A and B are shown apart, each in its own frame.
Chain A
Amino acid sequence: MIFPILSLIMLAPVIGAVIILFIPKDRNDAIKTVAAASAMVSMLLSLLVVFAYNRAQGGFQFTEKASWIPSLGVSYYVAVDGFSAPLLLLNGIVLFCAVLVTWNLTDRAREFFAFLLMLAAGVFGAFMSLDLFLFLIFYELVLFPVYVLVAGWGSGPREYAAMKLTIYLFLGSLASILGLLVIYYASGRSFSFDDMQRGVAAVKDTVALQRTWFLPIFIGFGVLASIWPLHNWSPDGYASAPTAVSMLHGGVLKATGAYAALRFGVQIMPEGAKYWLPVVAFLCLANVIYAGSVAFRQKDLKYIIGFASVAHLGLVLLGICALNVYGLNGAGIELFAGGVMTGLMFSLVGIIYERSHERDFSKLNGLVKVMPLAAVGFVIGSLTAMGMPGFSGFPAEMQIFMGLWSASQTNSLMFAGQLNWWLAVIAIVGVLTILITATWTLRIGRQMFFTDASTPEWQQLPPLTGIEKVAIILPCIVCIGVGILPNSVMNIIEIGVQAMVKSIGG
């Protein structure tokens, strides 16, 4: 029996949440310490997983498998490959930062942190599950705390936002589940990932089956990745959600959607993917261009970052649509580093909002004097988002566009018997994103931080606390580190991607 490191990563927040529920509710410090400690355990263990992953061996590692409901073919089956291991680390980092950013919370802190940890545990579970049944349990498990957290601790029209968010995601997952159930019955009644993959390929009329059911499954999970035009829950949801939830949701939970679409959509039904993804690419392009443009005309800070996260996921999905090593590599880095960046941006906006209670960025000014580190963090986040070389956004975006372009030149992806030359066009139009992102980041960054301090009120805002500084510096290190040495995460993502591309015969 090997050391069950994956289960521990997932259980640490659960244990934390249980302990928190036993702490008297007036002992806020103890509650937060426990929350931070359990988040840190998960983060460090997932870091260990990334380091200890045997790159020479490849494939799924740290496997834990135990039969659970044999009659239905359900098992407790968790493992990570090169693609999902960094995502665990992503969740660990963002969770840890989210707890730190929420350090000042006093309103029902016990419940808040318990729910937050449950949410994170669900995400950890979703990233490591290789049993579809188990995955869906975790996946649905996440939706509940999100609803409660947004409706209970949010701001603005929070109930509307919480409900909109929940319904969208619920319906999305419903479509996926339906599709996956069909696949389950057709492929030999096992929920295990490897069995399903093999089973689907062995079905007699496999191409027709895959082409029929790929789209509902992919789009269904795509809802969580805010695929256009089903993105509408996201800006509303994030505008109302408390900071920590926006961070986890925008940075990590959306990644779960894209990850699931890739793992249980593309990998199980490669023929369906090859058929549909060149078309789906148009939706993803809309994500990138449309959401980016909307972000640049918004005034509400949280909406801007919300739309930005829609655009960021659009890039990830575009990378997946390329269905080749470059595109998936890019998607992997964008999920990891872009997720950290989204978390950073949400935390900065949250920190500023919490102090100023002003969400219209055009009313903010001169904040660089009050919180210089926030300005630095925002600039780093902006440079990452706009794909500036030297920051993690660049290796991601570069490879995504490279993947799309290469896909347009090869015959491995055909739609209706045609060479899909339009992927090159999509790449050309998609590159506009570096311009669009630069526009809004420069605009709000300048307005918030680098204008004349004309509102004296803002100069009285309390400076950043040491804890908040940690929550800003940590993601900044990731953005720059991955940017300068992309190989630090590429060397593990690449292994997962190579295997994926091989298995889908790309």
Chain B
Amino acid sequence: MSKEFLLTLTWLAPFPPIIAFMLIALFTNKRRSLTTLIAVGGMLLTTVFSFIVFFNVAGDHKLGEAPLRSQFAWLPTGDTTFNVGVAVDPLSALFLFMVPLAATLIFIYSTSYMENDPRYTRFMAYLSLFAGSMMGLVVSDNLLSLFIFWELMGFCSYSLIGFFYFKPSAYKAAVKAFMTTRVGDMFLIMGMVYLYSQTGTLNFYDTMRNEEVLHHLAATPAIIPGMTAAALIGLFIFGGTVGKSAQFPLHVWLPDAMEGPTPVSAMIHAATMVSAGIFMALRFFPLYESAAHVGDTTAFTIIGWIGAITALLGALIAVGQYDIKRVLAYSTISQLGFMVAAIGIGGYVAAAFHLLTHAFFKALLFLGSGSVIHGVEHGHHHLHAHGHDDHASSHDSHNAGHGHDDHAANDHGHTEFDPQDMRNMGGLWSRMPVTFITFTIGGLALMGAPFITAGFWSKDEILGHAYHGMTHGNPLSTVVFWTLCVAAVLTAFYTARQIFMTFAGEPRSEAAAHATENPAAMTFPLVVLAFFALTVGYMNIPEDFEFAYIKFGAIANGFGIDHWLGHFVGGMLPVAEATLPFNSVPVVFSVCIFLLGGFLGLWFYGLKPLKAGETDPVENLGAIFTALNNRLYFDELYRKLIINRLQRFADYYSNNVDKGFIDVFLHAAYAILSDIAEVFRWFDKNIVTGISNLIGDVFRRVGREGRELQTGQVQNYLLSALIAAVVMMVFFLVFQ
């Protein structure tokens, strides 16, 4: 198909969901089925557009050198103009495949999951805008429009996380997400400003794909001594990634974000928000690289460390959680840390690859957990309805929606049944078979089950990259390699723990015992995602890894897409990333990691599943468990160190400086001036009046009236002003 046609489709791709948002918000907010049609239809249309573009460019290995581009002038400023445009290059093409696919499945799932919520239409509207913004971000050819969609997503996530706005916890989570990501955005804005002032453009191709500009940036010293402008700009922009992709130390918002309905979590954790952060860091990868070329590795070092710390931190905390969604949330943080660490050690393709596979299996896990919660909740209501001999009320309380747990539970006198707590589950494998199988597939992908799952290949690629760096004397790679190995063992362990706690053994609550499988609209997306969670890795199996390549790469080879990803996405880099020689050591590591973590999980949770009332084995860790369970006290720390201090600062200024110092000064000056005025008044009363007495009644009356007026505040003020004016005039004249 012609370039123009593909570009037109790219221009159009973000619009159907955005238009769907408007239509729903303005016209169909009372009509559920029509809303479903518009929302899902809009998303499907976007998927069709995106897929046409993707499949037309996927075979083009030269796309990296000659991306499709089109733009128009948006904001003229100074001698240049901000142009806004779209571009299709390998990186965005990859996202054109992943984002609409995952989003469409999440939409279909939502139509069933949110079916009974009273504000279903509003939910679908926000979800559409969310997806549309992500599409816009993906096709943007410049940082400015990327930022616009970036912030739009921030707003959508705020609205969706706080969707149950009457729940204080949901509202707090929404604000936390919005504000924390905004901290990152501040850095991003500075990065934009800095980049623009250095290059005069924010277009990716005129900056990141332009050797001359990169050389210039790498050669310019930054305002911080010892750093190049390239590294500092890169780090500022990376600040945005830290916020959006929930990296340490701004990771605190993501676990709370699960206060939103589960499909939102799936959107945030897979298709949109957090992927956007990594996406942008990948966009600016050439910047870090060009700085490193001239010997300034500050950016790479900081990014690598942040990624490694986040990966370990997230995996550790996930071990100590009971909430099924919270475990997944921390696992997302940890996996994003893997990607960021990969960027830090220069593994561009590895990071993109893991981003792709992670999106599929994490969407699967979140939707699966939603299915579990839905099933358990259903069991809970079912049980409850029997107690009241009134079956109709079961459906009503169910109508109240899923996030309304607290409400629903409190309204009906049930205290604190938490359908998301894994301690209340168990034995669901036979009750929810489709969910069980698909969730397990997703879990295996997250654990990195060797050869058969996508997660294995992408994680292995990162480890392989780190191993290569380590053996070639890069200390950062050494840190990253060992940290990620530990994090990966923990990942395998907590995932096994989660799967066994949720599905194995006998139910540990009545609700779990009455749980039932969900309708097809919810299970169908799970099956599709499970397929991709298994297969998407085959398109990037190292060619010289003969054993696996023959077994699995051959499948991909059958479609002509073997090692497609590496060649395709690798074309993004100005200097082609050297294909690493295959090394079996990291593969052995990857396999051992899976076996070790999986074995630990099996030993503690699989062989004799937890029974009702039993203590979770990890609680034997004592104080360590308490710390992990409390998320290593990050929230408390931030509250104490930053938020309370800021509030005190503001209070201090408002009370002491504004009301205190400035006003006291002002009032003192006023008091002095009015004392002076008092002297005048005395003068007026005793001398002027006395004289006027002499002169006559008329003048005396004038004098008296004047005196009376002068006791008023207004006169005092004006008089003070006059005196001050004279003083100032004298001052200025002398000064002159």
Chain A interface residues (CB < 8 Å from chain B)? 159, 163-164, 166-167, 170-171, 174-175, 178-179, 182, 212, 216, 229, 232, 290, 293-294, 296-298, 324-326, 329, 383, 388-390, 394-395, 398-399, 401-402, 405-406, 408-409, 421, 424, 427-428, 431-432, 434-435, 438-439, 442, 446, 450-452, 486-487, 490-491, 494
Contacts and interface: CB of A to CB of B under 8 A. Distances in A.
Contacts of B77: 325-326, 329, 399, 402, 490, 494
A175 B197 CA distance: 36
Interface stretch (B98-106, B486-494, B593-601, B658-666): B658-666
A326 B78 contact: yes
A435 B192 CA distance: 17
A232 B662 contact: yes
20 contacts: A163-B717, A166-B717, A171-B725, A178-B732, A232-B658, A232-B662, A232-B666, A293-B650, A294-B658, A326-B77, A389-B147, A390-B151, A398-B189, A421-B223, A431-B189, A432-B186, A435-B186, A442-B175, A490-B75, A490-B77
A491 B651 CA distance: 42
A12 B92 CA distance: 56
Contacts of A383: 155
A398 B192 contact: yes
B654 interface: yes
Q: Which 4 A-B pairs have the closest CB atoms?
A: A389-B148, A297-B650, A293-B650, A325-B78
Q: Interface SS of chain B: helix, strand, loop or mixed?
A: helix
Nearest to A168: B666
A431 B189 CA distance: 8
B37 interface: no
B383 interface: no
Contact of B193 (A182, A390, A402, A451): A402
Contacts of B175: 442, 446
Interface string B191-215: 0111011100000000000000000
B724 A171 contact: yes
B471 interface: no
B179 interface: yes
A225 to B, nearest CB: 17
A293 B721 CA distance: 31
Interface of B: 73-79, 147-148, 151-152, 155, 165-166, 171, 175, 178-179, 182-183, 185-186, 189-190, 192-194, 196-198, 223, 646-647, 649-651, 653-654, 657-658, 662-663, 666, 713-714, 717, 720-721, 724-725, 728-729, 732, 735-736
Nearest to A486: B75
A398 B663 CA distance: 34
B76 A490 contact: yes
Contact of B721 (A170, A179, A491): A170
Given A170-B721, A171-B728, 18 more contacts: A159-B713, A159-B714, A167-B717, A175-B728, A178-B728, A178-B729, A182-B736, A290-B657, A293-B653, A294-B653, A294-B658, A421-B223, A431-B189, A434-B182, A434-B189, A439-B179, A446-B165, A450-B165
A402 B714 contact: no
Nearest to B222: A424
Residue with the greatest number of chain B CB neighbours at <10 A, chosen from A179, A389, A427: A389
Given A294-B653, A297-B650, A388-B155, A232 B663 contact: yes
B151 A402 contact: no
A434 B650 contact: no
B696 to A, nearest CB: 34
B156 to A, nearest CB: 12
B654 A402 contact: no
A435 B151 CA distance: 13
Contacts of B165: 446, 450
Contacts of B179: 435, 438-439, 442
Contacts of B666: 164, 232
A171 B717 CA distance: 12
Given A431-B186, A487-B74, A171 B151 contact: no
Nearest to B649: A293
A389 B151 contact: yes
B654 A298 contact: yes
Contacts, number: 131
Given A325-B78, A434-B189, A435-B186, A229 B654 contact: no
Contacts of A296: 650
Contacts of A294: 650, 653-654, 658
A409 B220 CA distance: 11
Contacts of A408: 223
A424 B165 CA distance: 39
Contacts of A405: 190, 193-194, 197
Contacts of A388: 151, 155
Contacts of B78: 324-326, 329
A293 B658 contact: no
A297 B75 contact: no
Residue with the greatest number of chain B CB neighbours at <10 A, chosen from A329, A427, A428, A494: A428
Contact of A434 (B152, B186, B223): B186
Contact of B196 (A402, A424, A450): A402
A487 B75 contact: yes
A494 B663 CA distance: 40
A387 to B, nearest CB: 8
A427 B717 CA distance: 39
Nearest to B670: A167
Contacts of A394: 148
Contacts of A174: 725, 728
Contacts of A216: 732
A427 B190 contact: yes
B662 A167 contact: no
Contacts of B646: 293
A388 B150 CA distance: 10
A164 B669 CA distance: 12
A490 B649 CA distance: 37
Given A435-B183, A452-B166, A494-B76, A290 B717 contact: no
B653 A290 contact: yes
A399 B74 CA distance: 14
Contacts of A175: 728
A165 B263 CA distance: 53
Nearest to B150: A389
Contacts of B185: 434
Contacts of B651: 297
A487 B74 CA distance: 7
B178 A438 contact: yes
Given A383-B155, A389-B148, A389-B151, A395 B653 contact: no
Contacts of B193: 398, 401-402, 405, 427
Nearest to A449: B165
A450 B168 CA distance: 11
A390 B714 CA distance: 47
Given A232-B658, A390-B148, A446 B171 contact: yes
Contacts of A491: 76
Contacts of B720: 167
Nearest to B180: A435
B97 to A, nearest CB: 26
A399 B666 CA distance: 36
Contacts of A324: 78
Contacts of B735: 212
Nearest to A368: B165
A500 to B, nearest CB: 13
A401 B76 contact: no
B717 A409 contact: no
B174 to A, nearest CB: 9
B152 to A, nearest CB: 6
Contacts of B721: 167, 170-171
A445 to B, nearest CB: 11
Residue with the greatest number of chain B CB neighbours at <10 A, chosen from A178, A297, A329, A491: A297
A402 B199 CA distance: 12
A101 B646 CA distance: 36
Nearest to B720: A167
B708 to A, nearest CB: 18
